[in-house]
Each structure stands twice: as structure tokens, then as C-alpha cells.
Structure 1
Amino acid sequence: MALGGGIAAVLCIPPAVSLAAGGATDFLLSVGHPVLASSTLTVAWLASSAVDEASGTRWASGAGVSGAGAGTEWLRVDLGAGQEVTRVRLHWATAYAKSYRIQLSDNGATWTDAYRTADGNGDVDDLRDLKGRGRYLRVLATQAAKPSGYSLWDVRAYGPGPASRVPESYKAPGAGVPPEAADLTAAPKKETAMELVSSAENSTLDWRSEFGYIEDLGDGRGYTGGIVGFCSGTGDMLSLVTDYTSRQPSNVLAPYLPALRAVDGTDSHKGLDPGFPAAWRAAAKDPVFRKTQEDFRDRIYFNPAVRLAQTDGLRALGQFAYYDAAVVHGVSGLRSIREQTLRARKAPGQGGDEFVYLSAFLDARAAEMRREAAHSDTTRVDTAQRVLLNDSNLDLIPPMTWQVYGDTYTINR
């Protein structure tokens, strides 16, 4: 569908500048800017594909995420600064919205409709003579024409501009990096990373209070305990206790090693109940056990994840995103998610855009989490890491605020 201009007129428009009615110059505001979506079907159809100008790429919402395609999904573009938007061109794929809105916002939270329809018929919608202003533009799809959800080949926003430059912190390392920037291995950054993980794993920023944490979460992994959620069913708890026993042979957990070996790979408590949780909490009072947990965490999760992120040219936020993925999925799971992402986007170390690459990585990470019932709640990605990414905080510089599982956390130092 072409509104106020026709498809033929659209096809004659140069890629960067168009002539709107009345002869005024319209600048293309949206191409290459940061973009987020409510869901993504797979890593092949990323949110960023809708603003990359490539003819063969598109965004597709997660299938069935909102009830067989009948619910609400959205795609949001950060225009970099407040912009007047006079025209939006949407190129729908086969999965199009029957009802949708074009919205604008200054803060990404409060939205104003610039256009709305309940009679969409797909193809190309060239919406002209719009009136609205905001830094963020959102396509809010509320009713799908088909049960497969929504998909857009292209989203282009135009206005009197000129289009603002993408904020400096979206650029690759080396350009405009603030003096506070440092790798995640620097002590203050590492402390931030531990607090971010603890907010998701233990619902607190005080990760040092969680050495004695232990419970069965009913996720099929048996007992989960300690500062990053070591599990009796996934092998890392067994390895941790083995390491602890090599350092402190006469410890309260050593008698449970045969049982930990027996239940590895299962959710069974056989041989662990009833005394293991109490023994774990008692061991947590031992400085040697606390040090063992920290060393094991760094050796198995933190160090490999950060090294891999450094290889990919990622700064602190990207390094943390890799680390958090390793904690939940293991380093092998992290590598799998990374490989999926690299098939679609170049990492900064390969000359790619850091924001675009991280957006794609988080899309792939969220898709992987949704495949496992125990981790289907993706808020540790969507309302934490994506929030920091959207704030351009690629260096994890406080103050920062995020949410996990409905709880709000803030670091001010």
C-alpha cells in the first residue's frame, strides 16, 4: 500500500534524501541507527535488519510469542536526538500488520501516535505529512493479518533534519572512548559485573552475601548454590567441591562428593538430602570455600568469556554480555550463541558496528533462553543489558539503573 505518493514515487527516491510534497527536502533519519524489537524469530531476522538498507534482510517477530501472531509486537529506532518526523515508509513482508501505529517519544517510555490504522494491507506503506517529534520512533503492531506474527523488510523515517549523528559511544572502540572506559578485568568494572549477575541470580547487588545461598529452583538442574548459581545437575558444583576439597581436605562438603558424582546430569537429590544444604551453608563461613568459589567462577566463566569478548573487539558491556551468557549457558553455550551472531553480523574486531553486533547477540541470546523453560524469562537481557545498550553505556559507567524479574537496581558510584 502506498499512501500519498504511490509505489512508483517511492522507487524513484534517492537513498539519502527525498523530495516531499511542496518541494521541501526530507533527510533520511533512521538508516544505521540503533534499533530494538519486542522479540525476534531467529538470529537470521534481526531488528537491525529493518534499518540496514540491504534489500535481502528483514526483521521478523518471534513466532507465537504474543499468541499466534495476534498480539502486540514492536520495533523501535533510536534517531540519536530529537527529530521532527514528517514521513515514514514501511515495507512489509508477507507477515504484515492489519492494525498498527507509528509513535514518537522523547524518552522511550511515553509515546504519542503520529499515525494509526486498523486497515493495513501489507506491501509498502508510504506515510506522508506526519506531524510529530521525538528521539525514538516505534512501529507498534497490534493485530497481525496472519498467525505468523510480523515482519518488515524496511523502516525509513524522514524529516527536515539533517539527520543527527549516532552518539559517539555507539562507535567502534578507539573513537571517543571516555577516560572511564576500561576492560571488565579492571577492579571497578569487575565489581559492576558481579553485581549485575547477582541481581539476576540472587536478587541482590550484594553478591558477597550469597556464598551460602542454596536451593532447588525446580529447573531440572538439582541444587543451585553460591555466587553464580553452581548446580548439582550440571557438573560445576561437583567440580567446585572437588577443588575445595583439594585445598581443604577436611571440609563439611567432602563426604558428599560420591553423591554429587552420582547425581551429575540429573535433578536428583539422592545422597544429598537432608544434610547437604546445611553443609553448604556451613562451608560458606570458611574463607577457603569463599575463595574457591571466586577462583572457580573466574577460571570457568569470567576469564574465558572476557577473553573471547576482547578478541571480538567488545568493550565492557559486551564483555559482560558474554560473561552473563557463560554463567547461564556455559562457555560452550556462549560460543554457540556467538557463532550464530557472527553468521549474521560482523563483530567490532572484524570491522563491524559494536551497537549493531551487540543488538544481534542479545537477540540470539534471548532466543536461546526462550528454548529452555527454566530461562524463558528473558528480563536479565531485555530490561537489563538492552537498557544499558540503549543508553549507549558500552563502557558500563555509573550511574546505571536496570530491572530484573520486576525488581529495580541502581549503581551510583
Structure 2
Amino acid sequence: MATAPAAGAPLTSTQVKSAQAIVNVFETGSVLGDYGQVTLIPGDTGHLTYGRSQTTLGSGNLATLLQRYCANLGARFGARLAQALPRFQQRDLTLDNDGKLQNVLRASADDPVMRETQDAFFDDSYWQPALAAAGKLGIVSPLGVAVVYDSTVHGSWALIRDRTIAAVGQVGTAGEQAWIKAYVSARRDWMATNKRADIRATVYRMDAFQRLIDQGFWGLELPLVVRGQEISAATLSAMPPGCYDGPPPGSRVLTVQSPLARGLDVRLLQLGLSDLGADIKADGVFGQASFRGVKDYQAQHGLPANGVADVALIAKIVG
């Protein structure tokens, strides 16, 4: 197994991507992160969360992210989201149940501008602060930096850092690997005994880091497997899951089929149905909910209710 880089050596671009991928897996279950993921966990004080690293309504960071996106003249959904910006800025908790707006957020993931905005935002808000915090303590290994980054995204870095220093001393005294091991153990204990059920449920993060420590992956040598997800050169360069750049609406007939139709045209059809009042999740996959949505639209407009969206029908719904 390869050894960790020499002390003080900057992380390579692959090591940076690998460290971020570990946290992406924790946050969204995907190596590259799910740019369109909308999540609402019962009891989570962050309330509505969105994007690659799941930024929250409650923290105010989601409003900041969307403000950055809307400020870009090339933002495909900028005008629509700009109308809702005051609600995000006010941390309006009714957004937790606004299915139409959540579908716009999902659809925005297909816009390269949104993905670029998220990458820059999460780099500024989490990665760079984590890198600075790690460097200040003398943590230089890719795995050690990944541990700090995870706590910066998920929370509790300063609290567990101070507990670890109190227990084993500074990084320079204990040695980086021993210090990181102690930190991971302390953070797992904090999670496992936390009064909040949603935090107790995340002990898997420290268990995953402990496995990487036990396997000696201090340099994050590829390939890695984290929570069943392979982190490799191939997966790091793939198209992010749930993001579509085609086919365009009206280029094919849509209905339930095997395998299920997926793509930008499906997403925009779902978004159009959602805008018209359909209870549907705009995930870009034409399943039974989409089939019912099309049938209901057809029935409401005096059309044969067969659940088949032909080119003419798609044009009416998508506009």
C-alpha cells in the first residue's frame, strides 16, 4: 500500500477530490454528491437541505447558495428561484413542505451553472476552512484532512478538537495518526451518546473513517470503498448522478417502459406537471407517478387518458 505524502506536502487534486468524495458519500450516498438532492430529516434543526453537501435552510447557507446562483446571468432557473429568495433569506419553514419549489431545486441540478456554483460555494464555505483548520494543527495527511472536512460540513469540529487535545495533547505531541485516531473515537462517542436521534444515526461516518484508518489509507490511495461506494479514477470523473444534459423535450415519446426513461425531457415534463398541481417528484425518471400525472392531465383536458406523453402533449406541458 502506498504511504501518505511527506509532512507538509500539499494534497494532489486527486486526493482533494477523494477527501471530498468521502463526505459526499456520507451526505448524499454518491461519490460526486447529488447536486439536486432535497432532504428533510425529522428533528433536524437545519430543516430543508439541498445539494452536493446538503446545505441547510436553518443555517442561512442555502439562501446564500441560491443568491449566488441567481446572480449569474446564465442561470437557467435563476428567475424562478429569485422570486423565492426572500423566503429562503427569512428561513421560512413552510419551504419544508413546498413541493413545487423543491422540484425547481431538483431540476436546477441539470444546469451546469448550478453545479459550478455549488462547487465554488462548498469550497469557500467548508473545504477551505477545513484545510486551514487542519494546517493550523499540523494535520497534513489526506485522510486526516478528510476527517477535519467531514466535521466542518457535519458539525462539531471545534468541540471534538478541544476534547481530543485535552485527552492526548496537541497533534505535534501525540503524532498525527494517533491524534486522528483519538479524534475519530471521541467524535464517535459524542455521536453515539448524543441526545439528538439524527446525530446518533450518523455514527457510520466515524465507523467508515475507522475502517480507512485500520486499512492504512492515510494517503487516500485509490481505489477506496466507503459505505459500499467505490471511489476511483473512473467514479471521480463520471457524470454526477441524477444530472441530465439531454435529451431535449419533445425529442421522444414518454411513457412507462422498461428500462424506465430517464433524462432532461422527463425532468422538465415532471416540473411542468408539478407547476400545474400534480403531486410528483421531479427526479428525471418516468415511473408510475409520472404516468399518473400525464393521465390526470389528459383526463382534465379531454384527451385520451393513456399516460403516453407525445410530442404535442409535452410541448403543452413544458411550454
> TM-score normalised to the size of structure 2?
0.63
| Corresponding residue number in structure 2 for 1:228 | 53
CA distance in 2 between counterparts of 1:272 and 1:256 reads: 14
Q: Is the 8 A contact 2:25 2:226 kept in 1?
A: no
Matches within 5 A, 1:80-99: none
What is the DSSP-based 3-state SS (H/G/I as helix, E as strand, rest coil) of the residue aligned with 1:204?
A: coil
Q: Is the 8 A contact 1:211 1:290 kept in 2?
A: yes
Q: Cα 1:351–1:258, aligned 2, differ >3 Å: closer, same or farther? A: same
| Corresponding residue number in structure 2 for 1:388 | 212
CA distance in 1 between counterparts of 2:79 and 2:169 reads: 48
CA distance in 1 between counterparts of 2:48 and 2:209 reads: 27
The runs of at least 4 aligned residues of structure 1 exceeding 6 Å deviation read none
Q: Is the 8 A contact 2:142 2:218 kept in 1?
A: yes
| Corresponding residue number in structure 2 for 1:292 | 117
Q: Relative CO higher for 1 or 2, CA cutoff 8 Å, sep ≥ 6?
A: 2
Q: Is the 8 A contact 2:38 2:51 kept in 1?
A: yes
| Corresponding residue number in structure 1 for 2:101 | 276
More helix by share: 2
CA distance in 2 between counterparts of 1:325 and 1:399 reads: 23
Percent same amino acid at aligned positions? Answer: 25
More strand by share: 1
Matches within 5 A, 1:58-207: 177=4, 183-184=10-11, 186-207=12-33
What is the DSSP-based 3-state SS (H/G/I as helix, E as strand, rest coil) of the residue aligned with 2:80?
A: coil
Q: Cα 1:212–1:270, aligned 2, differ >3 Å: closer, same or farther? A: closer
| Corresponding residue number in structure 1 for 2:90 | 262
Q: Is the 8 A contact 1:182 1:395 kept in 2?
A: no
| Corresponding residue number in structure 2 for 1:147 | none
Q: Is the 8 A contact 2:60 2:91 kept in 1?
A: no
CA distance in 1 between counterparts of 2:226 and 2:97 reads: 37
Q: Cα 1:230–1:178, aligned 2, differ >3 Å: closer, same or farther? A: closer
CA distance in 2 between counterparts of 1:216 and 1:177 reads: 38
Deviations 1:320-374 (A, max 9, x none): 0000111111xxx3122212211222333x3322222111211222233331321
Shift of 1:387: 0.7
| Corresponding residue number in structure 2 for 1:355 | 177
Q: Cα 1:354–1:256, aligned 2, differ >3 Å: closer, same or farther? A: same
> TM-score normalised to the size of structure 1?
0.50
Q: Cα 1:401–1:289, aligned 2, differ >3 Å: closer, same or farther? A: closer
Matches within 5 A, 1:34-73: none
Q: Is the 8 A contact 2:191 2:203 kept in 1?
A: no
Aligned length: 226
Structure 1 stretches of 5 or more lacking a match?
Answer: 1-167, 170-175
